[in-house]
Structure 1
Amino acid sequence: MDLNIKDLDDKVGQRLREQAEAAGLSVQQYLRNELTRIAARLSPAEFTRGRKPMSRSEFEAIREQLRSIDAS
């Protein structure tokens, strides 16, 4: 698949060039790697599809567990 992205802000393009250079990659290879990484994970919509919202009591129980972990 070939992609052509139009009207990308110059600052975004410059930042991507900097990140690619820091990684020792061409911009094309850097973006290929990043897009592959993004495609491999679930989107927020996919992640939440079919999930029921957490109840307040479930949220509070988890928060207490995290506070206990932080305290130790």
Structure 2
Amino acid sequence: MCSHRPACPTADHPDRDAARVVAAHPEQGWSLLCNGTVVFDDTGELLPGGEIIPPHRPVVTTMPSRGRLAVAA
């Protein structure tokens, strides 16, 4: 699907989210990338072959001893 240069990462590449957005629907919570991947606001993905990638948001917790937030990917 990608026709620009340099070409975007393919849908099976680990960096597939770096592809350009070709259709954005923020009111519905999803965007279509030029490599055919549909990305959702919750960080889940639907690959062109039908594979589902579950949401992979960072986990935010509070450090009890300091009351600060810690982020783990």
- Give the TM-score, by structure 2 length: 0.23
Ranked by relative contact order (alpha carbons within 8 Å, sequence separation 6 or more), the top structure is: 2
Structure number, greater radius of gyration? 1
Greater strand share, 1 or 2? 2
Greater helix share, 1 or 2? 1
- Give the TM-score, by structure 1 length: 0.23
